[in-house]
Structure 1
């Protein structure tokens, strides 16, 4: 028995308005940059409060403190996805941020994955594991053991495709942010390569053909681990 929860149920639960579910868990961003000289200290206060909550819950998020804000990622590694524990901690973190006067900025949330097409998946994975110093994982093929860099996904193909780039980016975005990002990318000279999978994801290319998938599908998925 597992306490995994679907992104759709997570988002529908009370107290999660600050959070969005992207490729690597539930994320929130709390802005401190409008506090001027006190921005970093305000963020540090939130981080300290999150540390207390995490210890009390026995469940520890990834926290990124920057001058302009604090990013938080919640995921339960034992289920490979978000869980009821993440839901409970998300509510507590949001309440703490509000008490500290730090607003959430859901549109700032995203996660990035590097996708590599390969005929010989094992050989390609071995190379990237060595050169990046990454560790193999079930759900993303390779991951930074320090949780600092993007995941790498090795996608199996039957034969080489010389007519297109074999490396592309997967950018997971909130459902309510993807239209704005899509429009901005097209206005910046990008082109729509494939929308046959929309509204799950759109494939775009830059002016020289390098591709990215804008993928909001995780944010409202009904599936849990």
Structure 2
């Protein structure tokens, strides 16, 4: 297996300027002028050496291509030197086609159901969603087996809500340099700050109805 590296090590490495590590891997977005250009870029990715041994997830739209890289093993989920090597190759392929990376278009979302005993509710969500346990954290996370849907992380609550129920909130991940502007925009749009003691790593905000997001 390739050596494990931290998100900071990944992002600070030469050749990874287009990429940001947000929750579920390293992401890059390359703007394209047409579906044909996007398809040519995907073709270039498919022709990289040994790409099928560690294939990226690729989302193709007419205005751009999003690429995600991450390594999963039974005891690890995160970034490796192999991911970094492939990221550099993908960025080089984009440059050859005249495509620019746009980190401002990168974000990731996780849905977080909370309950005092997550093991009691995970089977329900697994059945409803058709999801599978994440290989490195099967007792906490469910993922789409086709890598298309939003991931679910089950948070252990210290106690139920006052009405005796659980709670669901969202976790939105953006590049670090965009976080404070996103928080300011949410507050200006009617949100309120619930907690900020963990800033700038994360904040918790709520809308007027009390629905929360990190």
Q: Point out where structure 2 has 5 or more consecutive residues left out of the alignment.
A: none
Counterpart of 2:84?
A: 87
Tell me if structure 2 keeps the 8 A contact 1:113–1:169: yes
Change in Cα spacing, 1:96 to 1:27, as seen in structure 2 (3 Å) is same
Normalised to the residue count of structure 1, the TM-score between the two structures is 0.87
> Given the alignment of the two structures, is residue 6 of structure 1 paired with residue 12 of structure 2, yes or no?
no
Distance 2:204 2:166 in 1: 13
- Which of the two has greater helix per residue? 1
**What secondary structure sits across from 1:8 in the alignment?**
helix
Q: CA RMSD in A?
A: 1.7
Tell me if structure 1 keeps the 8 A contact 2:196–2:203: yes
Q: Point out where structure 1 has 5 or more consecutive residues left out of the alignment.
A: 214-225
Moved over 3 A (4+): 54-57
> Given the alignment of the two structures, is residue 50 of structure 1 paired with residue 15 of structure 2, yes or no?
no
Tell me if structure 2 keeps the 8 A contact 1:54–1:60: no
- Per-residue CA deviation, residues 109-144 of structure 1 (Å, 9 max, x unaligned), is 111100111123112101000000000123351111
Cα displacement (A) at 1:2: 5.1
Tell me if structure 2 keeps the 8 A contact 1:186–1:192: yes
Change in Cα spacing, 1:156 to 1:56, as seen in structure 2 (3 Å) is closer
Counterpart of 1:40?
A: 35
Cα displacement (A) at 1:159: 2.4
Query: Which range moved further: 56-65 or 173-182?
Result: 56-65
**What secondary structure sits across from 2:199 in the alignment?**
coil
Counterpart of 2:54?
A: 59
Task: Report which structure shows greater RCO (CA 8 Å, sep ≥6).
Answer: 1
Counterpart of 1:30?
A: 30
- Per-residue CA deviation, residues 141-171 of structure 1 (Å, 9 max, x unaligned), is 1111011111111111232113697100011
Tell me if structure 2 keeps the 8 A contact 1:134–1:145: yes
Counterpart of 2:65?
A: 70
> Given the alignment of the two structures, is residue 117 of structure 1 paired with residue 114 of structure 2, yes or no?
yes
Query: Which range moved further: 116-125 or 18-27?
Result: 116-125
**What secondary structure sits across from 2:85 in the alignment?**
helix
Tell me if structure 1 keeps the 8 A contact 2:160–2:166: no
